[in-house]
Amino acid sequence: MTESRLISNPNTEYQKKSHSKTKRVISNVVIYFILILCTVVFIYPIILVLINSFKKKLYITDSPFAFPNAESFNGIENYAEGLSGSGFWTAALNSVIVTVFSVILILLLTSMAAWYLTRVNTWWSRLIYYAFVFSMLVPFQMVMLPLVGVASKLHLDNVFGVIFIYIGYGAGLSTFLYSGFVKTIPTEIEEAAAIDGCSSIQLFFRIVTPIMKPTTMTVAVLNIMWIWNDYLLPSLVLGTNVTDTTLPVAIQVLNAGRYGDVDIGVLMAMIVLAIIPIILFYLVGQKYIVRGVTAGAVKG
């Protein structure tokens, strides 16, 4: 009897392992199916815009979900017309200026602030840190009306002035991410550099900044995507003059015809042109996002 039990035990263990493996396979299949479904849901609108950017105007309204055929295909005419439109390149340059300078200053100022507030660790430094965190919870819609008046009085209602507004709104999340990462950096590294004669400025730029590279890339990617694609803030502060505003606002203004007449094909083409740079940058920096957010949230 005992011998038969010993013989049956290996089979039982094998069946348990096989059943467990089957459950893992089924679980992985379900997870991959959900992820693929979510990917299709998110990518489909972009593909739809890309398809319609090569179609003639009337065919877009009649059959927006159909692929271009010999009759509806418009080649690159929509792109040529969009690029030749007055003000497109000026608005694109404004977007580049606002995005580049805003992100550079956000990275520099918030990284220094986060490092100092984390290392000082007093009651007032914690108070300032929590003020940065609280600013993340305030919706822009609550302050957008008084913001327009303040920006006008301070003469910030221009391309270079709006940079300082973006710095203020980007400081909360950026400081939060940097602070969490700085807490993971061993203080012994900084103490050793200080003993070797590094000043505070040298310590930050030569020791701390290279270590914070993953979080810096994460903060850069998140802020570039936000500022480049932002429509509401530039439309309120900069207005709708194409030569004085950024690309998202200019796209809407350049394609707003009379009595609601909009050339959808040109509009789709300009949207594709506007999202190409941000997609390319995201593909380059995407590997740093999860790594930086995770590192910044461990002790943040």
Measured distance CA(75)–CA(77) in Å, rounded: 6
Tens digits of residue pLDDT in 10-34:
666 666 666 677 778 888 888 999 9
Q: How many CB atoms lie within 10 A of CB 266?
A: 23
pLDDT at site 298: 47
Q: Rounded to whole angstroms, how far apart are CA atoms 115 and 152?
A: 33
- Cα–Cα dist 16/9, whole Å: 11
Instruction: Please calculate the CA angle 275-277-281 and round it to the nearest 5 degrees.
Output: 115
The residue extents of the domains of the chain are 2-52, 77-297
Per-residue confidence (pLDDT) for residue 106, from 0 to 100: 94
Instruction: Tell me how far apart the alpha carbons of residues 104 and 127 are, in angstroms, rounded to a whole number.
Output: 25
Which residues make Cβ contacts (< 8 Å) with residue 12, sequence separation at least 6?
none
Global confidence as pTM: 0.79
3-class SS of residue 250 = helix
Architecture of domain 77-297: Orthogonal Bundle (1.10)
Rounded Cα–Cα distance for residues 269 and 264 (Å): 9
Low-confidence ranges of the chain (pLDDT < 50): 1-8, 258, 296-300
102/227 Cα distance (integer angstroms):
8
99 contacts 162 by C-beta, under 8 angstroms: no
DSSP code per residue over 61-104: HH-TTSPP-TTTB-TTHHHHHHHHSTTHHHHHHHHHHHHHHHHH
pLDDT of residue 15: 65
